[in-house]
Structure 1
Amino acid sequence: MTQDPGSPIVVMGLMGSGKTSVARLLSAALGRVLRDSDPDMHERYGMSAAEMLRELGAEVLHDREAEHLREALALRPAPVIAAAASTIERPELREALQAAVVVVLDAPDEVLAERMLSSGHRPHFEKDLRAMLAKQRVRRGPLFAEVADLTFDVARHKPEEIAGRVLDSLGWTAIRPIGE
């Protein structure tokens, strides 16, 4: 698989899949700007995704996440983007992703639920995280598969390995070694 080296790279997956870790490694290796929905939205709105969910509701949160991805996809030079999982549900964004390299990260629900507990910035839409993730997987899984250029199981591969395999698959050369 060879893509235009000027294409944006979008790292997607359910919460806890390690989007930020992999996107950060790719950004550094390629010398590209990183656009990550969580810190970018916190900087813009002064609230984490979890706070937006509690105070403003899911619709406002998801609208802001979609706006973030739209804006990031339009940037030039193209960045590496860690996109919120909710964005996959918007047909216009799935269409826009055709111009990007889309890397989808996944793992079993129990692995993702465990990772979600490690950070308070992630919104918990339900108390039972495994049940919440299972519902999101049913709704979003086929949509991720629709746009994915590359898919990795983060329970089996470390972020550094995933970043290296992405670059190898694309035939792109890192300007810095991965992980430095």
Structure 2
Amino acid sequence: MTATTRPVAVMIGPPGSGKSKVGRTLAAGLGVTVRDTDADIEERAGKPVSEIFVDDGEPHFRELESAAVLAALTEHDGVLSLGGGAVMSLATQAALTRYVADGGHVVFLDVPLAIAAQRVGMNQARPLLLGNPRAQWQKLMTERRPTYERLATLTVVSSERPGEQVAAEIIEALGLELRVPELVDPKRAEEHGAAENNAEENVT
């Protein structure tokens, strides 16, 4: 991994934390591209993440996910967003540790359950949220939180704040160069409404 082929920032956090929205906004403000490992996996598999879980099982999905993360960490130089459970892979943990040692930034987007529920659509069928979706989400978060916190170089609570405001906080905290200020202006969220902030995310 070299200084010219590593992400400017890696977003981690549970489903519903806003990684996709904040990642896109952060990338826009920095004038770089954004890459989502869930999208990489879907492109490789030729089907949605939810279908991979059902058709091929979670272990197969995790294999695809680990490979996607390792590839993105050495190929992408913009903002990288990881699936919620990606950090539980030992290979991914080791790769992120090396990335941070190289000067990289890992941002943990924390979020309360009530807000996450609005974003991931917990009333719908989700492979990892069968039974009681809210209880399952809380269980996943309890299991993953220590890893999120250990790997992160910065923790930001997204809550109900506009993605633009969260992205602006990240840029300031990390001392990154803001190239397109108007794209991380919270006023844009008011103009475009809150729909994008509440868009459903994959539960992985």
Q: Which residue of 1 aligns with 2:191?
A: none
Describe the shift of the 1:67–1:40 C-alpha distance in structure 2 as closer, same or farther (beyond 3 A). Answer: same
RMSD: 2.4
Q: Which residue of 1 aligns with 2:199?
A: none
Matched, 1:142 2:156: no
Q: Which residue of 1 aligns with 2:78?
A: 79
1:44-82 CA-to-partner distances (Å, cap 9, x unmatched) read 222111111111111111221221111110115x22111
Number of matched residues? 176
Q: CA contact under 8 A between 1:19 and 1:105: conserved in structure 2?
A: yes
Matched, 1:115 2:119: yes
User: Which deviates further from its counterpart, 13-22 or 94-103?
Assistant: 94-103
Matched, 1:167 2:171: yes
Matched, 1:126 2:130: yes
Aligned residue for 2:10, secondary structure, equals strand
Task: Output the CA distance in 2 between the equivalents of 1:137 and 1:118.
Answer: 15
Aligned residue for 1:152, secondary structure, equals strand
1:109-167 CA-to-partner distances (Å, cap 9, x unmatched) read 23212211189796444232111111111210000000111112221432111111111
Between the aligned residues of both structures, percent identity stands at 28
Amino acid corresponding to residue 85 of structure 1 in structure 2: G
Structure with higher Rg: it is 2
Aligned residue for 2:95, secondary structure, equals helix
Q: CA contact under 8 A between 1:15 and 1:122: conserved in structure 2?
A: no
TM-score normalised over the length of structure 2: 0.77
TM-score normalised over the length of structure 1: 0.86
Aligned residue for 1:127, secondary structure, equals coil
Task: Output the CA distance in 1 between the equivalents of 2:119 and 2:137.
Answer: 12
Aligned residue for 1:85, secondary structure, equals coil
Task: Output the CA distance in 1 between the equivalents of 2:126 and 2:38.
Answer: 9
Q: CA contact under 8 A between 1:22 and 1:159: conserved in structure 2?
A: yes
Task: Output the CA distance in 2 between the equivalents of 1:71 and 1:121.
Answer: 30
Matched, 1:63 2:63: yes
Task: Output the CA distance in 2 between the equivalents of 1:121 and 1:169.
Answer: 37
